[in-house]
């Protein structure tokens, strides 16, 4: 009795029987039916896509595919040929050579390749161009590490190129200039980052970063007092813009963010906790709102996300607790969202 195999073996091939093979007949030639010349003169006109007999002009085929390289240009004779070679052109690198020449190391141990590489690197670009290319690579790398979009990277590159052309930060470290450009780009794109976050990313001291930022702020007219349309309480520098990231990191529901934002606006209106940094106000307001709504979050968790000490968060909480009747809306209490009894009195100093 034969049993069916789950994976049967292939049938043995017999050497005696050979299967017929099929392939193109290379002996077939295309000739003109009118001329019937054994040595035809067939012309491929790629401009019109026709296959034409060169002797009588009979069209033998149409819609033929152009198999040539795409080296055509529709521009004038002046300028470079915009052929498809290399990467896309970058407007930030206008006037600089964007293609690299790499020389192989295989020279049989004679050392000529290293000398050619040095000569090629000196002749291809100047020192300023090499510095700009290095800075652009660092900006892209750091923005990727910070999970920042390409728009912020492009803004930071524009700021750096302009500061390099105008020699605004001559003598400052390259990392500090790049860090200041990324910090300003984040503020311009309404996704601000704190000094501490930028310093942890770039390993630049806060003092040098502040000096570079102040110089760029005055040069580019970005200071709050330089424009009459901008105030010191603009949303790009306020604690409300920090709530979105902090609440997401703490895994809080969306209603906590909206209520916390209203509490910060009410506290600013009544002058509560004025003079505190936006990071401290954001951390203290989140702690106050979580207790008010019954969402349990420890001070340590908020401190780790906001990057401020637990004592600073409790200090802002005590200031909010002293004026809680002014900050908590009656509608929240009537709807059952908030209860003032949930707010404990913190006596720790």
User: How far is residue 162's CA from residue 220's CA, in Å, rounded to a whole number?
Assistant: 10
Closest-CA residue to 343 (of 326, 316, 324): 324
User: How far is residue 121's CA from residue 115's CA, in Å, rounded to a whole number?
Assistant: 10
- pTM, whole model, 2 decimals? 0.58
Confirm if 211 and 180 have CB atoms less than 8 A apart: no
Q: Is 185 helix (H, G, I), strand (E, B) or coil?
A: helix
User: How far is residue 62's CA from residue 183's CA, in Å, rounded to a whole number?
Assistant: 59
C-alpha distances (whole Å) from 313 to each of 50, 281, 302, 318, 333 are 78, 8, 8, 9, 24
Determine phi and psi for 124, rounding to 5 degrees. -75, -45
Cβ neighbour number for residue 256 with a 10 Å cutoff: 19
User: How far is residue 330's CA from residue 340's CA, in Å, rounded to a whole number?
Assistant: 11
Q: Pinpoint the alpha helices (H) of 166-309.
A: 174-188, 195-202, 206-219, 240-249, 254-269, 278-293, 299-306
What does the buried/exposed string (b/e) look like for 266-305 if buried means 16 or more CB atoms within 10 Å of the residue's CB?
Answer: bbbeeebbeebebbbbbbbbbbbbbbbbebebebebbbeb
C-alpha distances (whole Å) from 254 to each of 31, 205, 245, 248, 250 are 76, 35, 12, 9, 11
Q: What is the pLDDT along the chain (349 residues), one digit of tens a residue?
A: 444 444 344 455 555 556 666 676 667 777 888 888 888 888 888 778 888 998 888 888 888 877 776 655 565 555 555 555 555 666 776 666 656 667 777 777 677 887 887 777 666 666 677 788 888 889 999 888 888 888 899 999 988 988 888 888 888 888 999 999 998 888 888 887 888 888 888 888 888 988 898 888 888 877 443 333 333 334 445 788 788 888 888 888 888 888 888 888 888 888 888 888 888 888 888 988 888 888 888 888 888 888 888 888 889 888 888 888 888 888 888 888 888 888 887 645 5
User: How far is residue 341's CA from residue 312's CA, in Å, rounded to a whole number?
Assistant: 23
């Amino acid at each position: 009795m034969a049993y069916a195999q789950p994976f049967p073996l292939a049938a043995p091939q017999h050497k005696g029987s050979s299967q017929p093979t099929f392939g193109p007949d290379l002996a077939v030639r295309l000739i003109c039916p009118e001329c019937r010349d054994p040595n035809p003169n067939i012309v491929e006109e790629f401009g019109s896509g026709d296959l034409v007999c060169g002797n009588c002009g009979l069209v033998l085929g149409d819609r033929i595919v152009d198999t040539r390289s795409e080296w055509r240009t529709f521009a004038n004779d002046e300028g470079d040929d915009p052929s498809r070679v290399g990467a896309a052109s970058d407007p930030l690198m206008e006037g600089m050579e964007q293609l690299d020449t790499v020389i192989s190391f295989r020279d049989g141990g004679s050392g000529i390749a290293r000398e050619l590489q040095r000569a090629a690197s000196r002749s291809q670009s100047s020192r300023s161009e090499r510095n700009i290319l290095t800075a652009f690579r660092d900006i892209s790398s750091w923005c990727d590490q910070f999970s920042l979009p390409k728009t912020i990277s492009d803004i930071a590159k524009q700021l750096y190129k302009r500061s390099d052309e105008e020699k605004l930060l001559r003598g400052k470290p390259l990392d500090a200039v790049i860090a200041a450009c990324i910090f300003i780009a984040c503020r311009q794109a309404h996704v601000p980052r704190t000094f501490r976050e930028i310093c942890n990313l770039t390993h630049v001291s806060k003092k040098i970063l502040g000096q570079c930022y102040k110089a760029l702020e005055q040069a580019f007219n970005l200071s709050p007092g330089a424009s009459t349309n901008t105030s010191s309480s603009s949303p790009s520098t306020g604690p409300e813009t920090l709530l979105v990231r902090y609440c997401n990191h703490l895994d809080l529901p969306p209603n906590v963010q909206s209520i916390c934002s209203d509490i910060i606006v009410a506290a600013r209106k009544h002058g509560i906790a004025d003079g505190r940094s936006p990071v401290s106000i954001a951390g203290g307001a989140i702690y106050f709102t979580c207790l008010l709504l019954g969402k349990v979050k420890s001070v340590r968790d908020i401190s780790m996300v906001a990057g401020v000490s637990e004592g600073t968060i409790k200090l802002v909480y005590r200031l909010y607790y002293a004026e809680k009747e002014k900050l908590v809306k009656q509608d929240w209490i009537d709807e059952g969202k908030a209860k003032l009894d949930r707010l404990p009195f913190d006596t720790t100093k």
